Amino acid sequence: MQSLSKRLETIASLVPDGARVCDVGTDHGYLSAFLKLSGKVNTVIAADINKGPLENAAANFKKFSITDIELRLCDGLSGFKEHEIDTIVIAGMGGEVITGILKRGESIAKIKTKTIILQPTTSPEILRKYLYKNGFEIIKDIPVFENDKIYSVMQVCYTGKAVEKDEYFFYCGLVDFNTPEGLLYIKKQYNRCLSCKNSLKNVKIKQAEYEYYSNLVKDIQTNYDLGE
């Protein structure tokens, strides 16, 4: 099969050898196919809430002569049993959507032996805040630049212990700003907050939000040495 995109390649690198994977929101099925063909995993279940993506994935599996990936029509983690999987991949969706999937599937996600790999396309702060307030811990937070967009791929585990974090952390996470892609990611979050701050500056009924973003801008500047 064709090589994976950098984003999917990064996700695949975080999947443990011999894993039993559920690929939630599989879309075209490329990640599932790669994992199976590489021999890296034991089993893969490619899941989606819609029939269309599963049909696309099935066509690709046939093209790649793969016959042992199960296709499952279900809403997030709702169609899985604890014993079936030990690795959860939820990628290519907004942070709000991924958070909703984890909330609805907490009986599966909140198991300490599970490896969870997440890649939000938007609103990573919503996802990180949910994780840390609900007993999850981010182990790795890898920035990936692809198609003129910067994302973060997170490897997560459930510890059962909620942890307090500064607000700016939810925007920037564990991303290492000492790398070119890491700095690009931090600057993206900084610019998001700066744009919100500037748009609210003269809106009297939004002064609480203005202060919120003003503090975020200062904290990101300070903690990542971005200067003025």
Single-letter amino acid, residue 83: H
Q: Do 54 and 122 have their domain in common?
A: yes
Q: Do 51 and 23 have their domain in common?
A: yes
Going by C-alpha positions, the residue among 4, 10, 13 that lies closest to residue 181 is 10
Q: Is residue 152 part of a domain?
A: yes
pLDDT < 70: residue spans in the chain: 1-2, 227-228
The two tokens of residue 12 are 């695949």
The answer to whether the pTM exceeds 0.75 is: yes
The predicted pLDDT at position 1 comes to 61
Burial of residue 135, with CB atoms counted within 10 A of its CB: 0-12 exposed, 13-18 middle, 19 or more buried: middle
Q: Is residue 1 part of a domain?
A: no
Q: Is residue 175 part of a domain?
A: no
The predicted pLDDT at position 202 comes to 85
Task: Give Cα separations from 28 to 39, 70, 121, 138 (angstroms).
Answer: 19, 14, 17, 27
Q: Do 202 and 97 have their domain in common?
A: no
Q: Do 72 and 142 have their domain in common?
A: yes
Q: Is residue 80 part of a domain?
A: yes
Q: Which helix (H) or strand (E) segment is 95 a member of?
A: helix 95-104
The predicted pLDDT at position 111 comes to 93
How many domains are contained in the chain?
2
Domain that includes residue 142, residue range: 6-165
CATH number at residue 122: 3.40.50.150
